[in-house]
């Protein structure tokens, strides 16, 4: 099972917060992660520990960074989200509506289902908001 399918929405938010907060010089401190998500430090720590156990984040002296696998998982998430947005866009939802609708399914859909949707939609390169859709990473080279 892919890491993405095991993540909760909160754990995903924590990954995004780590990516947004960490710089090349220093990892993301717990307090910044908690503040950016408007949750308490103990509950941020709980989500952080879960994604660390999945090998998506590494912590050193209290500062967190995404692992290579964590970066890949976020790219994968953006692909799922934006492919789902394209689908809902094709079904007639407005760009304002597609993002919310996509969040209802983006974590739940499997890689294979996303690939089939991508095929059916003619491999869109951008979502309805014009954001680039990352190429499939998990199955690269698989044909």
Contacting residues toward Zn ion, per CB under 5 A: 85, 99, 127, 129, 131
CB of 44 or CB of 74, closer to Zn ion: 74
Please state the closest distance from residue 104 (CB atom) to Zn ion, in A.
11
Please state the closest distance from residue 88 (CB atom) to Zn ion, in A.
10
From residue 41, how far is each of 19, 34, 48, 85 by CA, in Å? 17, 5, 10, 32
CB of 48 or CB of 127, closer to Zn ion: 127
Please state the closest distance from residue 128 (CB atom) to Zn ion, in A.
6
Please state the closest distance from residue 58 (CB atom) to Zn ion, in A.
28
DSSP conformational letter for 1: -
126: three-class secondary structure by DSSP: strand
The residue with tokens 């924590």 is 14
CB of 66 or CB of 127, closer to Zn ion: 127
CB of 117 or CB of 127, closer to Zn ion: 127
**Which residues neighbour 48 within 8 Å (Cβ) at sequence distance 6 or greater?**
14, 18, 30, 33, 57, 59, 64
């Amino acid at each position: 099972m892919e890491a993405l399918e095991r993540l909760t929405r909160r754990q995903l938010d924590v990954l995004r917060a780590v990516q947004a907060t960490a710089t090349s010089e220093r990892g993301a401190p717990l307090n910044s992660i908690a503040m950016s998500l408007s949750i308490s430090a103990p509950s941020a720590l709980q989500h952080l520990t879960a994604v660390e156990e999945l090998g998506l984040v590494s912590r050193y002296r209290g500062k967190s960074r995404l692992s290579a696998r964590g970066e890949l998982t976020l790219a994968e998430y953006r692909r799922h989200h934006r492919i789902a947005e394209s689908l809902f866009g094709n079904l007639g939802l407005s760009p304002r509506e597609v993002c919310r609708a996509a969040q209802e399914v983006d974590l739940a859909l499997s890689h294979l289902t996303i690939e089939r949707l991508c095929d059916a939609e003619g491999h869109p390169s951008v979502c309805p908001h014009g954001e680039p859709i990352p190429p499939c990473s998990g199955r690269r080279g698989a044909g």
